[in-house]
Amino acid sequence: MDKLASRLRIGEKIGLGFALVGLLFVGVVWQYHQTLQSVLGDYHQLQGFELRKSLALEIEIELAAVRDAEKSFLIERRETFAGEVDQRLQTLLGKIAALAAVDQDSRQTAASLQELVTTYQQSFEAVAGAWRIMGLDENSGLQGAFRENVHRLQELSAAYNVDRLYTLLLQIRRSEKDLALRQDAAYRERVRKLLGELRQLLETSELQAAVRQQLLAELATYARTFEPYAERALKSGNIDGGKGPFRDAAHHIEAILTAYHVPNLETSVLQMRRREKDFLLRGDDSYPPMVVAIARSIRAQIAESALSDADKTLLTGLLHDYERDFLALVAQTSSIATLTREMNSAADRVAPLVKQNVDQANQVMASRVAEIDQSSQESARASLLLMSCAIVLSVVLALAITARIVRPVRQMAGLLDGLAYGRPSDHVPTISGGRDEINSMGESLNALVDHRTTFLRWWKESMDEVSARRELLGASTDEEKDEAMQDLRRATIARLQQLNAIRGRLLRHGEQVIEVAQRLQSAPGSLTAEDAKSLEHAAEGIATLFEVLAMEQVPAGDSAATPGAAPPAASG
The answer on pLDDT for 570 being more than 60 is no
Averaged pLDDT, 256-266: 73
The answer on pLDDT for 215 being more than 80 is yes
* Residue type for position 296: R
The answer on pLDDT for 464 being more than 80 is no
Query: What whole-number distance in Å separates Cα of residue 89 and Cα of residue 2?
Result: 80
The answer on pLDDT for 12 being more than 70 is no
What was the pLDDT predicted at 193? 92
Higher pLDDT, 140 or 89: 89
Of 212-216, 233-237, 500-504, which has the strongest mean pLDDT? 212-216
Asked which of 198-202, 303-307, 339-343, 512-516 is least confident by mean pLDDT, the reply is: 512-516
Averaged pLDDT, 62-91: 88
Residue 28 CA, chain-centre distance (Å), reads 33
Higher pLDDT, 538 or 178: 178
What was the pLDDT predicted at 352? 83
Under DSSP, the state recorded for 431 is -
What was the pLDDT predicted at 415? 72
Q: Look at the alpha carbons of 547, 549, 552, 556 in this order and tell me if their dihedral is positive or negative.
A: negative
Query: Collapsing DSSP states into helix, strand and coil, what is residue 261?
Result: coil
The answer on pLDDT for 68 being more than 80 is yes
pLDDT classification of 44: cutoffs 50, 70, 90: low
Averaged pLDDT, 123-130: 86
Number of residues written out for the chain: 572
Asked which of 8-12, 85-89, 350-354, 568-572 is least confident by mean pLDDT, the reply is: 568-572
Minimal CA–CA distance to 70: which of 422, 342, 269? 342
The answer on pLDDT for 555 being more than 50 is no
> What kind and span of H or E run contains 551?
helix 529-561
For the chain, give the percent of residues with pLDDT over 90: 1
Averaged pLDDT, 183-197: 88
Asked which of 88-92, 287-291, 531-535 is least confident by mean pLDDT, the reply is: 531-535
Averaged pLDDT, 225-254: 79
Average pLDDT, the chain: 76
What was the pLDDT predicted at 551? 58
pLDDT classification of 481: cutoffs 50, 70, 90: confident
pLDDT classification of 571: cutoffs 50, 70, 90: very low
Query: What whole-number distance in Å separates Cα of residue 12 and Cα of residue 9?
Result: 5
Averaged pLDDT, 407-414: 76
242 CB-near residues (< 8 Å, 6+ apart) = 176, 177, 180
Q: Please tell me the class of the 7-136+336-385 domain.
A: mainly alpha
Query: What whole-number distance in Å separates Cα of residue 142 and Cα of residue 60?
Result: 36
Query: What whole-number distance in Å separates Cα of residue 34 and Cα of residue 25?
Result: 14
Averaged pLDDT, 59-63: 85
Query: What whole-number distance in Å separates Cα of residue 289 and Cα of residue 358?
Result: 50
The answer on pLDDT for 348 being more than 80 is yes
pLDDT classification of 161: cutoffs 50, 70, 90: low
Higher pLDDT, 260 or 399: 399
What was the pLDDT predicted at 160? 66
End-to-end CA distance of the chain: 44
What was the pLDDT predicted at 241? 67
> What kind and span of H or E run contains 144?
helix 141-159
Minimal CA–CA distance to 305: which of 163, 496, 435? 163
Query: What whole-number distance in Å separates Cα of residue 102 and Cα of residue 108?
Result: 11
155 backbone dihedrals φ, ψ, rounded to 5°: -60, -45
Higher pLDDT, 512 or 168: 168
468 CB-near residues (< 8 Å, 6+ apart) = 484, 485, 487, 488, 490, 491
- Look at the pTM and tell me if it is higher than 0.75: no
Query: What whole-number distance in Å separates Cα of residue 461 and Cα of residue 495?
Result: 6
pLDDT classification of 572: cutoffs 50, 70, 90: very low
90 CB-near residues (< 8 Å, 6+ apart) = none
Averaged pLDDT, 223-240: 80
The answer to whether the CB of 401 falls within 8 A of the CB of 13 is yes
Minimal CA–CA distance to 243: which of 180, 187, 178, 185? 180
Query: What whole-number distance in Å separates Cα of residue 314 and Cα of residue 344?
Result: 44
pLDDT classification of 565: cutoffs 50, 70, 90: very low
The answer on pLDDT for 545 being more than 70 is no
Residue 469: exposed, middle, or buried by beta-carbon count in 10 A (0-12, 13-18, 19+)?
A: buried
The answer to whether the CB of 175 falls within 8 A of the CB of 187 is yes
Query: What whole-number distance in Å separates Cα of residue 303 and Cα of residue 262?
Result: 9
User: Per residue in 486-542, pLDDT tens?
Assistant: 877 887 887 777 777 777 777 777 776 777 676 666 766 666 666 666 666 667 667
The answer on pLDDT for 553 being more than 60 is no
Under DSSP, the state recorded for 244 is S
Averaged pLDDT, 357-382: 74
